[in-house]
Chain A
């Protein structure tokens, strides 16, 4: 299979203009005759649904939550990047492009990243116009802050709830289209399969989570904006419902899955406290702007932090990376936290934690200013841990937060199945091997508001669509597959709960394919995942029936897909004999412990083809070329 990214020729600044001009247009009067399915209602899916509805298409939008406003984009705290250069500090589209390619450790596609940087400025304008209450300066202009890994202030924010406000903006635009009759919203409805007819995506099979009804929806194009797969680790900062099922079932229908091993560990989360723990809580990395990260110099130092004198503290990020200090990118900050904890210098009961200390900042700018900047985060920390971060340093530890890998898409954000588009975190396209802070919101909205509405139109205008009836063999086949899986899961009636399997799977993936990986561990992980999966299909217990609200059944289907994904992640991590971004292979590091890339052999996107249950997947490579940003060893020293 030849992977054609469909990037137009020409200078990078002109590519998107060129591509848009080359696209075919759908006659405005014909748009309502074309149905477009969107799965997911977060920043990507919600903004795409709203925009395609505004354009006049007949849009059906599906989400598993009770309302589109619940999508997990809502939990993003810190902000959204845009190359506005409002602060006059030397930012530009080119610099945002450069930072993103470099931050992604030279494993992203230049053309996509450049487009993202270009569109970033329009996103802010659109969101302001929608009434997103961004933080403002006293003069009434938009406020900015700098954010992990950037040396310019290009991050726009709404307190610590930027994702919420951007999502509500998209949600409101979506509801406006619901009222206008262009979008039909299907909440509490989960996509369980993709319908592919004559090689093109033509619809989906859904399960109504309230009634259990299995239904089909036929359309001319299908867009997945279903988010990332971080919950494969069980413990992550993702919402409990976040899952890979829509993407994975599309993968099994022929969409290639790219770079599954690129997962991001967020450095600032509240450490795990016990076995019952159901999720990890993120503390925005904007905290690193004012907080200083340290551990005791001595191993096993159990004194309370205020009794450890300055000379016996190791501000290890400031020591090792003097020019970026506490603001190094996420992968670097996370790995260093793990390293000091592995040395036995971690803090807290479990020894898996480092201090994030605000005492200097409070001395410098006062407690009130700190409260204004981070008040809600400090309150949240205190609610969960019972410690007051104004008085004692926070304890933090890295946690899985974002997945850069996802379904392979070309420049049009179309997967290897024609008519299946993938947007936001669900695709692999813009962040390479590591995402910079405040770039996820940017990408979700860029894809949804400004990219896919054009490219889907082009696809629709370039193709003819025959009517498909519910009795088409491919439709019936897809429905039968879904029903069979549900029946099977309910009929096993084994001894163990879905969560107990999920927790065990998550631990395997975290231990062997988490913050650092090695060949031996990955091989062991693949073995253990297979064994556990076999046990799952003979010993899981799902009570109740399919024809009702059955939360265990929902989880059971999702965990079944996580098993298969977990194996592919390990296969991908094993195949990539280099370290890059979030993928750190212990065998490949510089003498001082930094990630060692191998550009000569691994400068490609690894896109995997599903070959049936139990068969090894086939690897397809999309070579990456860098004409503008020259690959270099990332250095934040």
Chain B
């Protein structure tokens, strides 16, 4: 196959980027999108040009590292598929593919197709867990969980944290990501004791980051490689609303967003009332 790859090139976060077109001849239809970029990078290096930086690791659709827009669609045209498993046979001979990074204020650019998604880690750190220290657990079968609940929790827990939902959303909202974790843990009996405070903290953190609000457009779930259902957002809103009332006197902490790379995750915590 012959294709044209029009790729967003950006040296770093404070240098403006631009699109550069590269012809891709001899594309094997069995290749993945990332293997197509591998081949391009080999050629660029041989020509002495800077290879395209893109995020990737497991290349089997589960680590959530990879992802970029292909012709305006997060992870490209194939439903439920990350770019690492998207084979080139899904494109047409001669097609131009426009590759650009996730664009969202909460995901600052790093280089080319690579962005900083640490805002997601901070949302999880705010409350996306069950507070059970090692050694504290009762027998695994002590608390029965119905198969339906386990399955629904698993549907939400399947999120890989790739950020496609944010990139696809016209508001750059992280509601699907945040809702997935709130729903996963909220369904299970193990997550019930912290259901209120979790929703308050995670939603507060989400709002502190530069994500936009959710207006129920549904682009997020349409591009989600794990098909996380839109209902997790409804679940999040319900939990948050209820918690805002029940826990109205509670102070909620949020982590101040940061973009520097030299300090690890040293956090600055702000406290404010939940209202």
Contact = CB atoms under 8 A, between A and B. Distances in A.
Interface stretch (A245-253, A287-295, A338-346, A378-386): A378-386
A62 B239 CA distance: 34
B28 A543 contact: no
B116 A276 contact: no
Contacts, number: 243
A383 B81 contact: yes
Contact of B190 (A69, A128, A277): A128
B58 A75 contact: yes
15 contacts: A66-B117, A70-B63, A86-B141, A122-B137, A125-B139, A131-B130, A131-B185, A133-B150, A133-B154, A164-B62, A184-B265, A208-B261, A383-B81, A499-B42, A549-B12
B132 interface: yes
B129 interface: yes
Interface of B: 11-12, 28, 30-32, 34-35, 38-39, 41-42, 45-46, 48-51, 53, 55-65, 78, 80-81, 85, 87, 89, 110-111, 114, 116-118, 120-121, 124-126, 128-141, 143-147, 149-151, 153-154, 157-158, 160-161, 184-185, 188, 190-191, 255, 261-262, 264-267
Nearest to B61: A380
A139 B149 CA distance: 12
Contacts of A71: 63
Contacts of B191: 131
Given A74-B62, A136-B147, A380-B85, A65 B57 contact: yes
B144 A140 contact: yes
Name the 7 nearest CB pairs between A and B, nearest first. Answer: A140-B144, A172-B129, A129-B137, A125-B137, A185-B265, A175-B125, A186-B264
Nearest to B194: A131
Contacts of A210: 110, 261
Interface string A125-165: 11111110111111111100000000000001011010111
B208 to A, nearest CB: 13
A138 B117 CA distance: 38
B45 A161 contact: no
Nearest to B120: A67
A47 B132 CA distance: 13
Contacts of A586: none
B38 A278 contact: yes
A130 B130 contact: yes
A213 B264 CA distance: 13
Given A131-B191, A240-B57, A541-B45, 17 more contacts: A54-B134, A70-B57, A72-B58, A86-B141, A131-B188, A133-B157, A140-B144, A161-B158, A164-B62, A165-B157, A172-B128, A175-B124, A185-B264, A189-B264, A276-B35, A380-B60, A383-B85
A165 B58 CA distance: 16
A275 to B, nearest CB: 9
Contacts of A130: 129-130, 132, 190
A439 B132 CA distance: 24
B252 to A, nearest CB: 12
A281 interface: yes
A386 B60 contact: no
A72 B65 CA distance: 11
A84 B140 contact: yes
A453 interface: yes
Contacts of A176: 125, 129, 131
A248 B132 CA distance: 35
A239 B63 contact: yes
B86 to A, nearest CB: 8
A9 to B, nearest CB: 26
Contacts of A544: 50
A587 interface: no
Given A75-B58, A178-B265, A449-B134, A500 B42 contact: yes
